[in-house]
């Protein structure tokens, strides 16, 4: 077996220990004579998996009983639509902070449903910086405030939850969830597609303050209603059972790593190693303002963009995969989620130094 070092932005690297456990359990899961993919989601055994996964999410993130934890489908993108449909009424305003590609997409979808407003827009800095808090135009009566703590494409991260007064804060944490401890009580909703920092694609985690479950207009169909999902244990219809199971293994793995404090310290070290390598070189550059650089997605450019193809080709020969930047940005991007080991970053940094040496 040969595993590569996978810097994909998502679906992304998973812990090898988790993959090996899943492989071992596939033909005959817990003595059932079936794989976990072949059992009923209503079976006792699967319900135990589902409940344990929820308990582990609560323990890892320190989530109180004031919040519902839902395991849904449709990705983060589906929540872009469901959030305004559930958390606001016709005529309400939804406040959106724009810091890059994903927050803009969430804003556009909210606009389809409600009166979505732009609180501030990072366009002036080409989304390499977060607009200063003093410049935000908040609406005191907004149904909620939406932002994207980590912009997966631009590599811009807002490291502390923003203070927006009494307005509920809704955060798309798709690419930063569980990368460090967060104070969940500062949020009304945290949501994330699983395929970056949690597990396989197809599962979406939604953590919602319970009082907000009551807000949905009466004419909203059941399947689009968070309260129905929460009341039904996220089993209103057949859930993505394999994704739920595998994510559960990742939660166990995170606990074995020492929980989110230890994981966060490691992630900070990993990011520093890569940013230091970029900053001390005159060949590589990262455009993002230092205070809002992402710990999870690190875009960087080469001083000679005509060498991008060569860089990627030689990197692949070293087993350093999926470093091509997003088509909208160009250059390179290294996504260094929880499951990326420190040795993976070291291998990348070593490769970058060697490439610079032979090309300058």
Ligand X SMILES: *Cc1c(COP(=O)(O)O)cnc(C)c1O
Q: Would you name the residues annotated as active-site residues?
A: 102, 172, 196
What is the smallest separation between the CB atom of 288 and ligand X, expressed in angstroms? 15
Which one of 18, 46, 61, 75 is in contact with ligand X (CB under 6 A)?
Answer: 75
Question: Which CB, 175 or 322, lies closer to ligand X?
Answer: 175
257-262, long-range: CB < 8 A, 24+ apart: 257/338, 259/60, 260/60, 260/61, 260/178, 260/179, 260/180, 260/181, 261/180, 261/181
Q: Which two tokens stand for residue 93?
A: 């305003």
The CA distances from residue 315 to 46, 158, 319, 333, 348, in Å, are: 41, 30, 6, 13, 8
- Taking residue 186's Cβ as centre, other Cβ atoms within 10 Å add up to 13
What is the smallest separation between the CB atom of 297 and ligand X, expressed in angstroms? 8
- Give the separation between CA 322 and CA 37, rounded to whole angstroms: 29
Query: Helix or strand or coil: residue 2?
Result: coil
- Taking residue 243's Cβ as centre, other Cβ atoms within 10 Å add up to 20
What is the smallest separation between the CB atom of 172 and ligand X, expressed in angstroms? 5
- Tell me if 174 contacts ligand X by CB under 6 A: yes
Query: Helix or strand or coil: residue 314?
Result: helix
- Tell me if 175 contacts ligand X by CB under 6 A: yes
Q: Which two tokens stand for residue 284?
A: 């590589």
Sign for the CA dihedral angle at 341, 346, 348, 351 comes to: negative
Judged by CB under 6 A, which stretch of 38-46, 53-61, 74-82, 252-260 contacts ligand X?
74-82
What is the smallest separation between the CB atom of 304 and ligand X, expressed in angstroms? 29
Judged by CB under 6 A, which stretch of 82-90, 157-165, 167-175, 256-264 contacts ligand X?
167-175
Judged by CB under 6 A, which stretch of 60-68, 75-83, 268-276, 346-354 contacts ligand X?
75-83
- Tell me if 301 contacts ligand X by CB under 6 A: no
Question: Which CB, 152 or 322, lies closer to ligand X?
Answer: 152
Which one of 71, 102, 127, 295 is in contact with ligand X (CB under 6 A)?
Answer: 102
Question: Which CB, 104 or 114, lies closer to ligand X?
Answer: 104
Question: Which of 147, 190, 138 lies closest to 166, judged by CA?
Answer: 138
Query: Helix or strand or coil: residue 327?
Result: coil
What is the smallest separation between the CB atom of 25 and ligand X, expressed in angstroms? 26
Binding residues among 195-224 for ligand X as defined by CB under 6 A = 196
How many angstroms separate the most distant Cα atoms in the chain? 65
Which one of 147, 172, 299, 336 is in contact with ligand X (CB under 6 A)?
Answer: 172
Total residues at interface with ligand X (CB under 6 A) = 12
- Tell me if 148 contacts ligand X by CB under 6 A: yes
Judged by CB under 6 A, which stretch of 60-68, 73-81, 135-143, 205-213 contacts ligand X?
73-81
What is the smallest separation between the CB atom of 115 and ligand X, expressed in angstroms? 22
Sign for the CA dihedral angle at 147, 152, 156, 159 comes to: positive
DSSP 122-147: GGGGTTSSPPPGGG----TT-SEEEE
Tell me whether strands 115-121 and 144-147 are parallel, antiparallel or unpaired. Answer: unpaired
Question: Which CB, 296 or 302, lies closer to ligand X?
Answer: 296
Question: Which CB, 15 or 193, lies closer to ligand X?
Answer: 193
Judged by CB under 6 A, which stretch of 70-78, 132-140, 215-223, 328-336 contacts ligand X?
70-78
Question: Which of 213, 257, 200, 199 lies closest to 66, judged by CA?
Answer: 213
Binding residues among 4-23 for ligand X as defined by CB under 6 A = 10
What is the smallest separation between the CB atom of 116 and ligand X, expressed in angstroms? 16
Question: Which CB, 70 or 302, lies closer to ligand X?
Answer: 70
- Footprint on this chain of ligand X (rule: CB under 6 A): 10, 75-77, 102, 148, 152, 172, 174-175, 193, 196
């Amino acid at each position: 077996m040969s595993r590569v070092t996978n810097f994909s932005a998502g679906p992304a690297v998973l812990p090898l220990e988790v993959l090996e456990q899943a492989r071992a359990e596939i033909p005959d899961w817990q003595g059932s004579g079936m794989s976990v993919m072949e059992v009923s989601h209503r079976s006792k055994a699967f319900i135990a998996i589902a409940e344990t996964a929820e308990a582990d999410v609560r323990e890892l993130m320190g989530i109180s009983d004031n919040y519902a934890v839902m395991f849904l489908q449709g990705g983060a993108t589906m929540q872009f639509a469901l959030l305004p449909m559930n958390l606001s009424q016709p005529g309400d305003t939804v406040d959106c902070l724009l810091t890059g590609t994903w927050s803009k997409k969430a804003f556009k979808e909210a606009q389809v449903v409600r009166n979505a407003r732009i609180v501030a827009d990072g366009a002036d800095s080409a989304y390499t910086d977060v607009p200063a808090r003093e410049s935000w135009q908040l609406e005191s009566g907004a149904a909620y405030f939406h932002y994207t703590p980590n912009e997966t494409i631009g590599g811009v991260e807002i490291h502390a939850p923003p203070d927006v007064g009494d307005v509920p804060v809704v955060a798309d944490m798709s690419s930063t969830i569980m990368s460090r401890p967060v104070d969940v009580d500062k949020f009304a909703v945290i949501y994330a597609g699983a395929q970056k920092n949690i597990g396989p694609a197809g599962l979406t985690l939604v953590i919602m303050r319970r009082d907000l479950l009551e807000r949905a207009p009466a004419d909203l169909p059941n399947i689009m209603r968070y309260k129905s999902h929460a009341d039904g244990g996220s089993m209103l219809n057949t859930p993505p059972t394999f994704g739920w199971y595998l994510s559960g293994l990742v939660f166990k793995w995170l606990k074995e790593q020492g929980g989110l404090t230890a994981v966060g310290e490691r992630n900070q070290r990993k990011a520093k190693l890569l940013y230091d390598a970029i900053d001390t070189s005159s060949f590589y550059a990262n455009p993002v303002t230092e205070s809002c650089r992402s710990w999870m997605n690190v875009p960087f450019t080469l001083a000679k963009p005509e060498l991008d193809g060569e860089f990627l080709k030689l990197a692949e020969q070293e087993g350093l995969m999926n470093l091509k930047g997003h088509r909208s940005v160009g250059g390179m991007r290294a996504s260094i989620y929880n499951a990326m080991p420190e040795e993976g970053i070291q291998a990348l940094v070593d490769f970058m130094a060697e490439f610079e040496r032979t090309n300058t």
